[in-house]
Structure 1
Amino acid sequence: MSSVTISLGAAGDVLARIALLVPFHGADAIWGPSCQYSAVMAAAELNAKGGILGRQIELLAADAGGDPAEVEGRVRALLASDAPEVLIGVHLSSVRERLSRAFGGSLPYVFTPLYEGGIRECGTFAIGDTPQAQLAGPVDHLIRSESAQRWFLLGHDYVWPRKTHAWLSQHLTARGAEVVGEAYQPLSEEDFEPLLDWIEAAQPDMVMQSLVGSACLEFNRAFARRGLSQKILRLSGALEENTLMALEPAARENLYCASSYFSSLDTPGNQAFQQRYYAVFGKNAPVQSVLSISCYEGMHFLAALTAQAGSLRLPRLEEAFRSGLWFEAARGPVRLKNGNVVAPSYLARAGATGFDIVARFDS
């Protein structure tokens, strides 16, 4: 699938064209439909309030799954055929690096999901959780409450897991915990048996898994088949609701996730968001997660940023980004300060029907 046009403005409107880059195939495609639904809802809400800078929004969706070079080709084709003025991406950081090199400085690029931090790419506006914001509180809690002293770090072999684990290794050492193993798996590889041998031999208290999508499913299933889920805790930074729904009960045992959002979050903002979402799309709509609601929040962030800048020109947008702003999020209003979102993080445990919130940690 190369692109889909979702026209939300009235006929004759001067349109603000936004390229929505979400995965339609590959390891991360499992959350693609949820992303599209949340983006359409956000665009409709914004259009009802006047759109972007007084212009109605038109969404142009392109497949951001798979090989980064191929994603770049799809984006180039979309730019040539439909001339979007903004890119909004919910995809892997390896894709973001490729797109930032290819298009950085030529048009605004809003990158919304959790990421490794430290972005200095021209024209790229990252609003997702960094490792410190996402993991510091939950990791400290698990060290204290579950005596998680020995950690095994497992991730896919690209920039987000590696940089996240580099930060986590330093954090664990400072807390008196120990990293007893570290391994990385290609995105295309879903045979985890050799890694399970390594994990068993290392005897960790906790496996930190920075795996995405379908591979996250396969690892946790294989982990349970070995009987390891009964005696070794697991923590994920990217296990979201769509993935959790596909896991069998045994694979959910002793499984935790750290995130700034869960669909089960009991806040006035999230309750109102959930009510609007299912009223619009029906009770069988794809479940929302931290990755897909980042799509919704990216749209509202863009509206707030352009309103403050009064323009889509990059220098003015970057100045507004640095100065800070508030924007509407699924969890309620969120503040951006010094280029980082200020919001609580949560630790949740996998339950029978979803995530059960264990603790909240304020920034």
Structure 2
Amino acid sequence: MAVAGTVEGRRDTWRVAMVIPLRGPAGLFGPSCEAIAELAAHELNAEGGVLGREVKLEIVDGGARPGVVAARLHELIETGRVDAVSGWHISSVRNALAPVISDRVPYAYTSLYEGGERRPGIFCCGETPRLQIAPGLAWLRDNLGARSWFIVGDDYVWPRESGAAVRTFARELGLRIAGEAYVELGGDVADLVEKADISGCDGVLMLLVGQDAVEFNRQFARRGLHERMLRFSPLMEENMLLASGLTATTNLFVAAAYFRSLVNADAMDLLNRYVSLHGPDAPALNNAAESCYEGLHTLAALARRAGTTSVPDLNAAIDGFAYHGPRGTIEFHGQQAAQHVHLAVADGYDFTVITRL
């Protein structure tokens, strides 16, 4: 059986498995993830690739069951068909992939997540609750008087562990958690809306993925709750706004490291390059998709720093590693990226950025 990186004729290419959701609740922003990954590969190849090797992408459906995704990655790595892994996918998939990848190829995990990943060879590019949710709650308390929160989420590791972190933040910030409720991925969110309605809270913290958040927004608005409660989410993007509908996103606040509507040179330049490559009808650029761009550039810049793509050398080079991109300057502390996070409010089918947290 061939080992990754030793297949004859592959020395001039560097193949990255992009694990992105093509089905399930998060499938609605899968096309955006794929399109922005194509832009990143195009740009890297225009600059000479990764250490002289042409970047090629292998799209893997991260919306399948975690065990299915892990089996596919095992096959690709075992047969030497991929040299690295990246992409936006939920933490359950990351936890299934970690033992399969296990120091064999580098892995840039791009999604926001619950934090705490320390397994070697996994470089986490996304936001964590301490830097994303906690300052958002503080701003909403100070500026809008939101002190009582009800937590709703999908029932897997990111929402559950983030909910536990929020209980700690609440004690630190003098907030009250009125309750919390979870539903299986792709499940019926009606019970979540009902419980939030009767909780007497000022706001609802949404830890829901993709289409589940869309359905929650719709049912929330049908009850008229959007007129008397805030919603705050660390995972809400432009495709989800569009699917929710114009009237369903009133008083919806979002914290993220990137928004398409950011008015700065780095973000605007990325949007221009994206539209130039894919045309004006390209899938909506958004924070989940943009993370895939960050993942590929993280791997490339880290390889340049280490002078190699071997996992032990990348592990040795990661702490203190920094680069500049659409999110501004990203610096790694250990395996975790530190980055600026912004708070925005939904405005029709786009976001108005309010402040940097």
Sort the TM-score into its range (normalised by shorter chain).
over 0.9
1:344 corresponds to 2:323: no
Contact 2:329–2:339 under 8 Å retained in 1: no
| Distance in 2 (alpha carbons) for counterparts of 1:171 and 1:331 | 25
Map Cα deviations across residues 81-136 of structure 1 (whole Å, 9 max, x no partner): 56211111310010000000222122211101111110022321111111111122
Deviation, structure 1 residue 164: 1.1
How far is 1:12 from its partner?
9.4
Task: Report the CA distance between 1:13 and its aligned residue.
Answer: 7.5
Aligned partner of 1:353 in structure 2 is 349
Aligned residue for 1:149?
147
1:183 paired residue number? 181
The structure 2 residue matched to 1:211, chosen from 205, 208, 213, is 208
Aligned residue type for 1:234: R
For normalisation by structure 1, the TM-score amounts to 0.92
- Match in the other structure for 2:119: 121
SS across alignment from 1:60 = strand
Give 1:138's aligned residue.
136
Report if the CA contact (8 A) 2:118-2:335 is conserved: no
Alpha-carbon distance between aligned partners in 1 of 2:80 and 2:22, rounded to the nearest angstrom: 19
- Measured after TM superposition, the shift of residue 152 of structure 1 is 0.3
- Distance (Å, rounded) in 2 between the aligned partners of 1:291 and 1:75: 21
Q: Is residue 291 from structure 1 mapped to residue 320 from structure 2 by the alignment?
A: no
From 163, 166, 191, the counterpart of 1:165: 163
Give the conservation status (yes or no) of the 8 Å contact 1:229–1:253.
Answer: yes
Deviations 1:155-198 (A, max 9, x none): 11111111111111111121111001011110031x22222222
Which consecutive unaligned segments of at least 5 residues does structure 1 have?
A: 1-10
1:23 to 9, 21, 24: 21
**Which of the residues 26, 37, 43 maps onto 1:39?**
37
Residue of structure 1 equivalent to 2:278: 281
CA contact (8 A) 1:296 1:330 kept: no
Which residue identity lines up with residue 337 of structure 1 in the other structure? H
Shift, 1:336, TM fit: 2.5
Q: Counterpart of 1:326 in structure 2: which amino acid?
A: A
Aligned sequence identity (%): 37
Q: Which residue of 1 aligns with 2:94?
A: 96
Give the structure 2 partner of residue 199 of structure 1: 196
Alignment check: 8 A CA contact 2:105 2:311 kept: yes
Letter in 1 for 2:260: S
Give the whole-Å Cα distance in 1 for the aligned partners of 2:218 and 2:349.
Answer: 17
Q: Write the deviation string for residues 3-61 of structure 1: whole angstroms up to 9, x where unpaired.
A: xxxxxxxx998111111111111111111111111111111111111111111111111
RMSD (Å), alpha carbons: 1.6
Note the alpha carbon deviations across 1:196-215, whole angstroms, 9 max, x for none.
22222211101000001111
Aligned residues: 349
- TM (norm. structure 2) is 0.94
| CA distance in 1 between partners of 2:86 and 2:173 (Å) | 37
Could you list the per-position Cα deviations for residues 192-240 of structure 1 after superposition, in whole angstroms to 9, with x for gaps in the alignment? 2222222222111010000011111111100111111111111011011
* Counterparts in 2 of 1:358 and 1:20: CA distance versus 1, 3 Å: same
Which one-letter code corresponds to 1:316 in the other structure?
A: D
Q: How does 1:216-231 map to 2 (within 5 A)?
A: 216-231=213-228
- In the alignment, structure 2 segments of 5+ residues that lack a partner are 1-8
Q: Tell me which moved more, 336-345 or 47-56.
A: 336-345
Q: 1:45 to 1:159 in 2, by over 3 A?
A: same
1:55 aligns with 2:53: yes
Letter in 2 for 1:37: A
Distance 1:295 1:200 in 2: 36
